[in-house]
Structures are given as structure tokens and as C-alpha cells.
Amino acid sequence: MGKERNKSGFSKEFSLARRPTFVRVNLDTILDNLKILKNHLAKHTELIAVVKANAYGHGAVAVSRFLEKHGISHFAVATALEGEELRNAGIHCNIQVLGNASEDEIQTLYENRLIPTVANEKFLSSWLRLWRQQQRNTLCVEDGLPIGAVVLKVDTGMSRNGCQPSQLWSLVEYCENNNIPIHSIMTHFAQSWDDQIFTQTQMNTFMEVTAPYRERGIKVHVANSGAILNKIGVDLDYVRPGISMYGQAPDTSDFGINATKTAGLKPALSWHAKASAVNDLEPGRVVGYDQTYRCTSNERVAVIPIGYADGYLRNMFKNGYVSTEDGPWQLH
């Protein structure tokens, strides 16, 4: 096993993990994926790198530090606490909180200069009151960051977050009357990877309702991973790549998987393990809970020391392979 560890180059990682399995995240692959996605965009369109949910399990702090170092100036997270984690880690640039803005999070948003996503005047009123309590009668830009800025979100069909299209004008008016900077206006697509008709309907609604504000210079964005791959909304001011920047498909459909591969996106995460046992079994022997697999001939079975706590679910049985020096082995 010593020679095999040296040949694979994984001895250091196994040592750091202190167990015979580890996950490797290739940050250069994430950057390469963003460069590929950038090729789908208009020249003026900027990236908002979505690093919510611990960067989809890839490590939000490490990913954000690396991307900021390589010129990414906008990030998006799901909650104010996720944004606080990035600020504490030294991330300086714009951080938008995508989740519905909550008054319970206002203090965290304020202290960390985070940009909330807003859909009602009630939050805007509380937001304004806090800033004025801090002797900031005029919200502005300091140290390159918009202080007190908000993103206004319109619901165009997903029916989960955002104000209704008919309500947008009142939110914009409230912000303008109270000197609250509007970072941008956004919507979110419900099925941009495999229902382009519904997605285009959402797009048309958004473009119509935001037309007067775009003419006044307010920035807008709509495109998530699926929309970028389908080239919908890629000529607006921003796009918001999430799962695709990590090389994963927008969903598990054949269309989503094939579109990801065709684009040249590659997974940034790989999972490595050493077998804890290798057994030679005769025909008729069964393997695993519920007799998941039955040997039809003399077969060699390796036990890999991973399970639920590592994120490996039983419904993945029979649906994957591991790569070995002897070629692919099927999972059971």
C-alpha cells in the first residue's frame, strides 16, 4: 500500500484527513468553469459567483478567497450568517444575500455591509431606520462598497420570493425617495434548464416591468446556471452562476447533464478513498443491506470506508462507479 500511496500522490491528503478517505476541491477547475461560462455572456455582463450552502459543499471561504484574488467582485450567499462568515474570512467585495430579507437579520446585514434581497416596504422601512440610527442620514458608497444598498426582487412566475410585478414601482419609489441605493433588480427562473417556453415567459415579464428603470441606469439580472447554458438573459448586467461553476449539471435530467458536458464544464470536486478490505467471493454470495448485489461468478469485492455521515446515500447504490488503477468498479 505504501508504493500505491506514493504513486497516486494522495499520501499527504490521507494524512491530513486522518482517515482513509478525503475530498479534493480543485480551485483552478472552478475558475476554468467560470471562464467557460463567461464566454456565453455579453462583454459588459459581470459574474455574481454564488457560494451559498458552503459553496455547494466546496468550501465557501476557500472558494471566495481564491475567486476574489482572481478578479471576481460579486458574491451571493443564502443567509446573512453565510455573508458574515465571508466577511470574517477577509472577503472585501460585494456580497448579496439571496434569501428573503428578514428583519431579524438586519443587524448582521448592517455590521457586515451585506446587500439584502428585498421584496416589501416593511423591510425597507426597518432597514432605513437602522441606518439613520447609526447617524447615516444618507446611504452612500464607502471604501468601494455600496453602503445600505439593496437588491429588489420581482416574482415573475416561481411564486416563492419577490414582489409582484405590479408592486415593483412602489419599492423603487420608496428607495429613491429615501436615498436607499438600488444595487440592482432581479428575478429567478423556475425551470431554465429544460422548459425554455416558461422561462421565456418569465423573461418577458421581467423585461417589461423593469424597462423604465433600465432606461434610468438601474442594473438588472435574471440568469442562473441553466439560463446561462441556454443563453437566456446573458446580455444583461449580471448573471448568477451557481451549481454550474462547480462543474455540476443544473439538474439530473439527460438534458442538464449533456448541456454541462457539451459546454466543457468539469467537476471541481473528487472523492478519494482506500479500500479497507478486498474479498474474493464465490457465485451466489450476496453483498450489502437488503442483499443489494448477488455474485454471478467468482468476483472480487472491495469495501470502501464511507457512508451516510460522509454524504454517500443508499440510493446511490448500483448507480455509480469508482475509478481504480484496474479500471472502473461498480458501486453496490
Sign of CA dihedral 76, 77, 81, 87: negative
* Higher-pLDDT residue of 317, 129: 129
- pLDDT tier at 2, thresholds 50, 70, 90: very low
Range with lowest mean pLDDT among 14-23, 82-91, 173-182: 14-23
Sketch out the chain's domains with CATH numbers.
Answer: 2-21+269-330 (2.40.37.10), 26-263 (3.20.20.10)
Give the residue-averaged pLDDT of 242-271: 89
> What is the reported pLDDT for 4?
39
Residue whose C-alpha is closest to residue 21's, from 305, 303, 270, 278: 305
pLDDT of residue 164: 97
Question: What pLDDT score was predicted for residue 6?
Answer: 43
Does the pLDDT at position 3 exceed 50? no
Q: Inform me whether the pLDDT recorded for 308 exceeds 90.
A: no
pLDDT value at position 311? 82
Residue 316 has pLDDT above 70, yes or no: no
**Cα separation, 46 vs 43, whole angstroms:** 8
Enumerate residues 6+ apart whose C-beta is below 8 A from 59.
25
Write b or e for each residue in 109-140: b if 16 or more Cβ atoms lie within 10 A of its Cβ, otherwise e: bbebbbbbbbbebebbeebbebbeeeeeeebe
**Mean pLDDT in the chain?**
89
Largest CA distance in the chain: 79
User: Percentage of the chain surpassing pLDDT 70?
Assistant: 88
Residue 332: pLDDT over 80: no
Confidence of residue 158 (pLDDT cuts 50, 70, 90): very high
Collapsing DSSP to helix, strand or coil, 309 comes out as helix
Sign of the four-CA dihedral 109, 236, 226, 229? negative
Bridge partner list, 294: 286
Distance from C-alpha of 69 to C-alpha of 66, rounded to nearest angstrom: 5
* Residue 77 backbone dihedrals phi, psi, to 5 degrees: -125, 175
pLDDT score for 211: 98
* Rounded Cα–Cα distance for residues 19 and 116 (Å): 40
* Residues acting as catalytic residues: 52, 289
pLDDT-based confidence at residue 146 (cuts at 50, 70, 90): low
Question: 3-class DSSP state for residue 60?
Answer: helix
